[in-house]
A and B are shown apart, each in its own frame.
Chain A
Amino acid sequence: MNDTATTAASPAAETAPACAVSVKGLVKRYDQVEAVRGIDFEVASGEIFGFLGPNGAGKSTTINMLCTLVRPSDGSARVAGHDVVGERDEVRRNIGLVFQDTTLDGYLSAEQNLRLHAELYGVPRELVAERMRQVMEMVGLWERRDSWVNTFSGGMKRRLEIARGLLHSPRVLFLDEPTVGLDPQTRSSIWRYIRELKAREDITIFLTTHYMDEAEYCDRIAIMDQGRIIVLDTPEALKAEVGKDRVQIETDDDQAAIAVLRERFGIEATVAEGAVTFGVADGGQFVPRLFDDWDPAHPAIRSVSVARPSLDDVFMSHTGTTIRDAESTSTDRMRNVARMMAR
């Protein structure tokens, strides 16, 4: 253990950092396997930043390095202005953590769990009660504060963990797969808390997920695969990069409609999912134009639907595989890693 390393704190770090997280050339090697292969990125203060990728892409390893649980093999990272290796305690004091697996003490009440946390983090006694009420009310568990955590459902436990992670007013809250294994309703309520949180507190949220739809809630996302960041941008920009919206029209005569689209609009369409399907740069603007130029003589259009490109399309366009396919191969990869490490 290297607890004494905190002396290296530079005075420059004392000023409020513009970036909550800044990572340069971060690498984690386990024997011969590189779980994280040199990544660089910055997260601005107040941002909701998401790491998206299949299981085994290196997301959790990265998070563990950022929250000082795993020592990087190479490169450097600063969280809340502090180096994750040299100023471990400063980093820890400024971050909140919610892991994939619960880290609550099931034999203590919700309140006792939070109180214990407050004392470990040195939250001043006179503020504990008020702060505790605040975070518990936020996640809707104030009424259950005296219940044993073991009597809580999975979703309640996750909410309590989020509350606990916030208790010491961290600057950066790390959420490792915050909604994995929860039912859709609980998932959406967790997201409501996260968004509420961002509005209420001056906090940066760093999360990992392998749910495409959740990544959409982030201000920016980094798509990670096989230990590398493939692309990093806002969800909108990433999707715009894929380019085309998907337009589907139902007509009386699909073949005739396809011919019209080719002649009049220069669009190659096909029939997919029982409708004439094609891609255009901006579906919303295209549809009015379509109707303006559509003769009554042409086959009648019965319905139109426009779909924005999803992050699935983004992942696909960068890796040539869907996230689900990547997941199964990377699970195999991780299994091999585990096997090697066990030797």
Chain B
Amino acid sequence: MATEATGTTRAAGGAGAPVSDGNGRTPAPGTPHEIARVRVPTRSARGELRAIKVVWKRELIRFSRDRLRILTSLMQPFLFLFVLGSGLSSLVSASTHGVSFRTFIYPGVLCMAVMFTAMFSAASIVWDREFGFLREMMVAPVRRSSIVLGKCCGGATVAAFQGVIVLAIAGLVHVPYSLGLLAELFALMVLLAFSITAFGMMAAARITQMQSFMAIMQMAIMPMFFISGAMFSVVHLERWLAILNRIDPLTYAVDPMRRAIFAHLHVSAATRHALAPGVTWWGWHVPSLLEAAVVALLGLVMLTVAIFEFGRAE
């Protein structure tokens, strides 16, 4: 009875999406009326989209179940923002032109919240492998790329959600709630979340042990955070640090965020120039849009590598 039901389904599926099936499954030539069985098309764009969606949804379900994780991953950004930010503010007040140090490091903290959540999301694929669930996804009749993409989207969504919480407290550090600004910050956050998850997925394709994965991620993320200029201005840096700073991909996420925030603050041009000067390449000011493109491009490259790696693995 059940098989019969599926038989009809197969017919329905075959009739429903024959166009998107790139394999041209038509009856054998010469026997147009002898279609023995109609089955779900081998591959349809709809099927792949559904696979991306289901993997994405699973990430969300698992994240929503893990309240502790939501709380703990907020801990670090809040520590940086309020403890470190407040503690250092008197020390650095001379050079911040009256702008609160907390406001200054806010974009960096925003990035940090996103990065850590995205990293943990990527780590979940290492767990999935360990607990076998990865296998269930790998043997499904869908592209591996759909699974990797779904994971990345899931990680990005979860991280963006975490970012939104930090975004919500913008007022506490004197960042105005302007719709344009919030939209811009949010877009940059999503972009960063996606790229970091892709980075994590790329690493997870090769690193199969949780301990090593976490160690490697920490090793990559912490220097990235400190070098990016999340805590300092990118002008007048020592030469070696300036070079590292321009290489660090996170620089190109923190900088446009900070510039967007300072564009909405009522401060003098001199202050803006001192605190949010923008990244330069050999003296040329890199526009925000290009910086965002750098982050997006890196994310796409890493996603491609991750897809390739997971596809290759037997």
Known pairs A11-B28, A90-B42, A120-B137; A168 contacts B58 (CB<8 A): no
On whether the beta carbons of B144 and A1 are closer than 8 Å, the reply is yes
Choice from A1, A11, A97 contacting B312 with Cβ under 8 Å: A1
On whether the beta carbons of B61 and A112 are closer than 8 Å, the reply is yes
- Binary interface encoding of chain B residues 37-60 relative to chain A, with 1 for a CB under 8 A from any of its CBs, else 0: 101101100010011011001100
For residue A202, CB closer than 8 A to chain B, the reply is: yes
On whether the beta carbons of B27 and A11 are closer than 8 Å, the reply is yes
On whether the beta carbons of A107 and B62 are closer than 8 Å, the reply is yes
On whether the beta carbons of B54 and A131 are closer than 8 Å, the reply is no
**B23 partner residues in chain A, CB cutoff 8 A:** 6-7, 9
> Which A residue sits closest to B43, measured CB to CB?
A89
For residue B2, CB closer than 8 A to chain A, the reply is: yes
**A108 partner residues in chain B, CB cutoff 8 A:** 58, 61-62
How many Å from the CB of B210 to the closest CB on chain A? 15
Tell me, in angstroms, the Cα distance from A15 to B37 when the chains sit together.
7
How many Å from the CB of A8 to the closest CB on chain B? 9
Tell me, in angstroms, the Cα distance from A124 to B54 when the chains sit together.
14
**B133 partner residues in chain A, CB cutoff 8 A:** 103-105
The stretch that binds A, out of B5-13, B101-109, B242-250, B292-300, is: B5-13
**A1 partner residues in chain B, CB cutoff 8 A:** 143-145, 308, 310-312
Tell me, in angstroms, the Cα distance from A102 to B134 when the chains sit together.
11
On whether the beta carbons of A124 and B9 are closer than 8 Å, the reply is yes
How many Å from the CB of A21 to the closest CB on chain B? 16
> Which B residue sits closest to A70, measured CB to CB?
B314
Choice from A9, A107, A201 contacting B2 with Cβ under 8 Å: A201
> Which B residue sits closest to A115, measured CB to CB?
B54
On whether the beta carbons of A89 and B139 are closer than 8 Å, the reply is no
How many Å from the CB of B114 to the closest CB on chain A? 23
On whether the beta carbons of B139 and A69 are closer than 8 Å, the reply is yes
Tell me, in angstroms, the Cα distance from A6 to B308 when the chains sit together.
18
Tell me, in angstroms, the Cα distance from A6 to B235 when the chains sit together.
55
Tell me, in angstroms, the Cα distance from A106 to B124 when the chains sit together.
13
Tell me, in angstroms, the Cα distance from A282 to B220 when the chains sit together.
73
**A92 partner residues in chain B, CB cutoff 8 A:** 139-141
On whether the beta carbons of B43 and A6 are closer than 8 Å, the reply is yes
On whether the beta carbons of B42 and A9 are closer than 8 Å, the reply is yes
Which secondary structure dominates where chain B touches chain A?
helix
Question: Could you tell me how many residues of chain A have their Cβ less than 8 Å away from some Cβ of chain B?
Answer: 48
How many Å from the CB of B222 to the closest CB on chain A? 28
For residue B132, CB closer than 8 A to chain A, the reply is: yes
> Which B residue sits closest to A112, measured CB to CB?
B61
Tell me, in angstroms, the Cα distance from A117 to B138 when the chains sit together.
12
Tell me, in angstroms, the Cα distance from A121 to B54 when the chains sit together.
11
**B273 partner residues in chain A, CB cutoff 8 A:** none
- Binary interface encoding of chain A residues 85-126 relative to chain B, with 1 for a CB under 8 A from any of its CBs, else 0: 001011011000101011111111000100011011111100
**A89 partner residues in chain B, CB cutoff 8 A:** 42-43, 141
For residue A127, CB closer than 8 A to chain B, the reply is: yes
How many Å from the CB of A19 to the closest CB on chain B? 16
Choice from B40, B58, B137 contacting A122 with Cβ under 8 Å: B40
**B50 partner residues in chain A, CB cutoff 8 A:** 119-120, 122
Which secondary structure dominates where chain A touches chain B?
loop
- Binary interface encoding of chain B residues 126-158 relative to chain A, with 1 for a CB under 8 A from any of its CBs, else 0: 001001111111111111110000000000000
Tell me, in angstroms, the Cα distance from A249 to B28 when the chains sit together.
66
Tell me, in angstroms, the Cα distance from A134 to B131 when the chains sit together.
27
Tell me, in angstroms, the Cα distance from A120 to B52 when the chains sit together.
9
- Binary interface encoding of chain B residues 276-313 relative to chain A, with 1 for a CB under 8 A from any of its CBs, else 0: 00000000000000000000000000000000101110
On whether the beta carbons of A124 and B12 are closer than 8 Å, the reply is yes
Tell me, in angstroms, the Cα distance from A62 to B287 when the chains sit together.
57
Choice from B3, B42, B132, B144 contacting A99 with Cβ under 8 Å: B132
**B174 partner residues in chain A, CB cutoff 8 A:** none
**A87 partner residues in chain B, CB cutoff 8 A:** 42
How many Å from the CB of A73 to the closest CB on chain B? 12
Choice from A15, A116, A169 contacting B58 with Cβ under 8 Å: A116
**A71 partner residues in chain B, CB cutoff 8 A:** 314
For residue A293, CB closer than 8 A to chain B, the reply is: no
**B40 partner residues in chain A, CB cutoff 8 A:** 93, 122
- The listed residue with most B CB atoms (<10 A of its CB), out of A12, A89, A123, is A89
> Which B residue sits closest to A203, measured CB to CB?
B3
For residue B65, CB closer than 8 A to chain A, the reply is: yes
> Which A residue sits closest to B28, measured CB to CB?
A11
Choice from B39, B54, B57, B144 contacting A93 with Cβ under 8 Å: B39
Choice from B35, B53, B140 contacting A121 with Cβ under 8 Å: B140
Choice from B9, B39, B62, B134 contacting A127 with Cβ under 8 Å: B9
For residue B25, CB closer than 8 A to chain A, the reply is: yes
> Which B residue sits closest to A90, measured CB to CB?
B42
> Which A residue sits closest to B31, measured CB to CB?
A11
For residue A31, CB closer than 8 A to chain B, the reply is: no
Tell me, in angstroms, the Cα distance from A15 to B135 when the chains sit together.
30
**A168 partner residues in chain B, CB cutoff 8 A:** 6
Known pairs A93-B39, A119-B50; A127 contacts B6 (CB<8 A): yes
For residue B91, CB closer than 8 A to chain A, the reply is: no
- Binary interface encoding of chain A residues 4-30 relative to chain B, with 1 for a CB under 8 A from any of its CBs, else 0: 001101011011100000000000000
On whether the beta carbons of B311 and A3 are closer than 8 Å, the reply is yes
For residue A295, CB closer than 8 A to chain B, the reply is: no
28 contacts between A and B (CB under 8 A): A1-B308, A3-B143, A3-B144, A3-B145, A6-B42, A7-B22, A9-B25, A12-B28, A16-B37, A69-B139, A70-B314, A90-B42, A93-B40, A93-B141, A102-B132, A103-B135, A103-B136, A105-B131, A117-B140, A120-B51, A120-B54, A123-B6, A130-B5, A168-B6, A169-B2, A169-B3, A201-B3, A202-B3
Residues of A within 8 A of B (CB): 1, 3, 6-7, 9, 11-12, 14-16, 67-71, 87, 89-90, 92-93, 97, 99, 101-108, 112, 116-117, 119-124, 127, 130-131, 134, 168-169, 201-203
For the complex of A and B, 10 pairs with smallest distance between CB atoms: A1-B311, A11-B28, A169-B6, A92-B141, A103-B132, A120-B140, A103-B136, A119-B54, A93-B141, A89-B141
